[in-house]
Structure 1
Amino acid sequence: MTLTGHCLCKAVTYTVDVDAPLLTGYDHCDDCQRQSGSTYSLVCVVPKDKLTINGPIKKYEGKGSSGKSVWRLFCSECGSPIAHDPDAAPEIIALKGGSLDSDIKKTLKPDTEIWTVGKLPFCQENLAHPFEHMPQ
């Protein structure tokens, strides 16, 4: 099975040549809250070398807690967030779960929370594997 997704206007599409994400979870970091406009971002971590993106992508460079760049990829037409790409972990990329095709995202089973240090107090109870920051 291949994972597929797109932005809101469908100008950006992507495929990931894997059966399932390496990790699916809630990212509570402040940057993800701001990018998503919500309390957290649902992320699906996949091997970066298995991802193919087509369409007009723009990148915004922020800094992670490692001091290294975190690249936020989004559609240059509609602004939909597609992924964040941390230089501290060059082998992976975190797709925004909401950008996956509907039939795929309905099957996701988030089981991890990261950056719980930024978790807002009114959010749901912990999932099975909470990490205060990224797993070490």
Structure 2
Amino acid sequence: MPLTGHCLCKAVTYTADVDAPLLTGYDHCDDCQRQSGSTYSLVVVVPKDKLEVKGPLKKWEGKGSSGKSVWRWFCQECGSPIAHDPDAAPEIIALKGGTLDSEIKKTLKPTQEIWAVGKLPFCQEKLENVAEYMP
């Protein structure tokens, strides 16, 4: 079953023609924290040649620790981050896990942490109070 997803406004849609991601994990790098607006970014890595994206996509060029470009893809309509595309690893692309279709993202099983050196200290702690929802 391919991986499918979309941005918040549904102007950008994508399909990755794969049976399963190459890797699913938490990316703790500073850039992913900033792009996600959170403490990490859930990434789903797939072969770039298996990905088809439709819609008004914008790309922003940043620099990775390798000194090579990392292209941040996002919807130019609503600003949702879609993926990051590192020139240092041209064969892969990291989709933002939150943009996958709901039934697909419920099945994700993150197995790795990436750039754990950037993991924020409070992410090490286990929370005592977990709310199922916020009113």
Root mean square deviation of aligned Cα = 0.7
Q: CA deviation at 1:42?
A: 0.1
Q: CA deviation at 1:38?
A: 0.1
Which residue in the other structure is 2:60 paired with?
60
User: In the alignment, does 2:16 pair up with 1:16?
Assistant: yes
TM-score, normalisation: structure 2:
0.91
Could you give the per-residue CA deviations for residues 33-64 of structure 1, whole angstroms, max 9, x where no partner exists? 00000000000000000000000000010000
Q: CA deviation at 1:12?
A: 0.2
User: In the alignment, does 2:38 pair up with 1:38?
Assistant: yes
TM-score, normalisation: structure 1:
0.91
The one-letter code of the counterpart of 2:17 is D
The one-letter code of the counterpart of 1:80 is S
Aligned residue pairs total: 125
Provide structure 2 residue ranges, at least 5 long, that are not aligned to the other structure: 126-135
Change (3 A) 1:65 1:15: same
Which residue in the other structure is 1:51 paired with?
51
Correspondence list, 1:48-127, <5 A: 48-124=48-124
Identity within the alignment, %: 88
- Whole-angstrom CA distance in 1 between matches of 2:9 and 2:35: 18
- Whole-angstrom CA distance in 2 between matches of 1:46 and 1:116: 20
